[in-house]
């Protein structure tokens, strides 16, 4: 099982300068290759592949204008062309939108080194074009006897440097099978409500630092564009955002690890978070809850440990369906948190939804179909929209609390 281990490091001035040059060259090569491929398609209806862009890179290095590309390691430049090829493959297969140009101010600074461009020995990592190893803070050791096959160096908006090492992790093993299952209903007041009736409060990571963030943003707005003081104020805002994201990620890791360890089957809703964010009143709270990251963590951890993750249909009426008798209520506004069914059952909205989600997921694992009622009108939506996510080999980035 491939796993990426991410560590923070502190470069020297020479290393920081070299990596900054590498980031700039990587961004330049990516943008030039994207422009060349776009022009070839728009002008001649010709598809340019990776081999062609690699040949273009060789010619660019021979020109006087782009001769500085020879000053950095060639491996990150080749890797960014491979990433561009992957972006186009995703576009052609309709898994993503058309690739976009990288921005100097908005894009993530990163460079990927393969095994030919670095040396790892005795806990010391030496990158190409550098005279000394990186000063890495080893928060945990790499798996015993394993060496990284790929190293990715990155710098975030707050100016923090990170190195991610991809290697085989033999410590990830399938856990003993259990007879337990849980349905999860995502929310805002309660981050998740379990089918057992347990509600896990939303830590609201962004709200805790909202005043500090607003103050830093006001200070940034008062600084003159292009000044050094504005750059200092921008980094201050970025540090607040980074602390919020770190705190949120840490909480989600603890929660998802617990859910995966305690249950054999985990059932979640297939929410379209992108559409939900269009609600201007709830978009900030939904973003702070980070439902997409919660789902991503559950997916790769279930694959790691041999658990079954089931996604129910996004149109399944989990909140309006009575978990006792199966009656569907016509209307159920968001402000109604408890409701009574004609059968006499009194439901907590979130707990009832979690139980219905669990029932739908168990129906999928048992017979391959969902429990959503058929529409009475001809040509109505079929009930079978749920799917089981099978365990598979994943390449997920491991975080400090995995």
Active site residues: 185, 269, 350
Six-digit token string for 306: 């041999």
Helix (H) or strand (E) holding 19: helix 13-44
Q: What is the 3-state secondary structure (H, E, C) of 46-85?
A: CCCCHHHHHHHHHHHHHCCCCHHHHHCCHHHHHHHHHHHH
Q: What is the DSSP letter of 328?
A: B
Q: What is the DSSP letter of 116?
A: G
Q: Are 292 and 273 in contact (CB under 8 A)?
A: yes
Residue of 306, 347, 297 whose CA lies nearest to 326:
347
Six-digit token string for 85: 């090829």
Q: What is the DSSP letter of 223?
A: S
Query: What Å distances lie between residue 61 and 31, 69, 102, CA to CA?
Result: 15, 6, 20
Q: Are 118 and 127 in contact (CB under 8 A)?
A: yes
Instruction: Tell me how far apart the alpha carbons of residues 10 and 155 are, in angstroms, rounded to a whole number.
Output: 11
Instruction: Tell me how far apart the alpha carbons of residues 205 and 131 are, in angstroms, rounded to a whole number.
Output: 41
Q: Are 312 and 268 in contact (CB under 8 A)?
A: yes
In sequence order, the 6+-apart residues with CB closer than 8 A to the CB of 129 are 18, 22, 72, 73
Instruction: Encode burial over 71-103: b for 16+ CB neighbours within 10 A, e otherwise.
Output: ebbbbbbbbbbebbbebbeeeeeeeeeebeebe
Question: Burial level of 302, CB count in 10 A (0-12/13-18/19+)?
Answer: buried
Six-digit token string for 356: 């219905």
Task: Classify the C-alpha dihedral 324-325-326-328 as positive or negative.
Answer: negative
In sequence order, the 6+-apart residues with CB closer than 8 A to the CB of 247 are 203, 205, 208
The number of beta carbons lying within 10 Å of the beta carbon of residue 263 is 22
Helix (H) or strand (E) holding 351: helix 349-367
């Amino acid at each position: 099982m491939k796993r990426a281990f991410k560590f923070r490091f502190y470069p020297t001035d020479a290393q920081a300068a070299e990596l900054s040059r590498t980031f700039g060259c990587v961004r330049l090569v990516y943008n030039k290759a994207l422009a060349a491929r776009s022009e070839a398609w728009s002008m001649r209806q010709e598809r340019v592949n990776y081999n062609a862009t690699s040949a273009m890179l060789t010619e660019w290095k021979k020109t006087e204008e782009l001769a500085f590309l020879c000053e950095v390691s060639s491996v990150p430049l080749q890797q960014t062309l491979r990433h561009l090829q992957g972006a186009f493959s995703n576009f052609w297969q309709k898994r993503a939108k058309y690739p976009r140009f990288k921005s100097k101010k908005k894009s993530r600074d990163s460079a990927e080194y393969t095994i030919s461009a670095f040396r790892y020995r005795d806990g010391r990592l030496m990158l190409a074009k550098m005279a000394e190893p990186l000063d890495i803070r080893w928060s945990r050791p790499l798996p015993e006897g394993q060496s990284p096959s790929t190293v990715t160096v990155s710098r975030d908006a707050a100016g923090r440097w990170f190195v991610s090492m991809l290697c085989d992790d033999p410590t990830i093993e399938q856990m003993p099978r259990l007879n337990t299952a849980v349905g999860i209903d995502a929310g805002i007041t309660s981050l998740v409500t379990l089918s057992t009736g347990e509600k896990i409060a939303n830590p609201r990571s962004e709200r805790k630092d909202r005043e500090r963030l607003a103050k830093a943003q006001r200070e940034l707005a008062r600084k003159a564009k292009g000044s050094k003081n504005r750059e200092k104020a921008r980094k201050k805002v970025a540090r607040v955002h980074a602390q919020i994201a770190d705190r949120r990620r840490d909480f989600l890791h603890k929660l998802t690890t617990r859910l995966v360890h305690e249950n054999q089957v985990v059932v979640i809703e297939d929410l379209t978070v992108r559409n939900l964010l269009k609600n201007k009143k709830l978009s900030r709270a939904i973003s702070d809850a980070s439902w997409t990251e919660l789902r991503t963590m559950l997916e790769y951890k279930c694959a790691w440990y041999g658990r079954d993750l089931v996604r129910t249909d996004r149109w399944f009426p989990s909140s309006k369906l009575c978990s006792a008798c199966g009656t569907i209520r016509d209307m159920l506004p968001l402000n109604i948190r408890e409701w009574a069914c004609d059968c006499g059952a009194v439901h907590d909205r979130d707990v009832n939804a979690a139980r219905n989600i669990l029932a739908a997921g168990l129906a999928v694992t048992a017979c391959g179909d969902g429990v959503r009622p058929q529409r009475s009108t001809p040509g109505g939506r079929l009930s079978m929209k749920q799917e089981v996510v099978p365990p598979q080999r994943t390449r997920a980035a491991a975080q400090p609390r995995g």
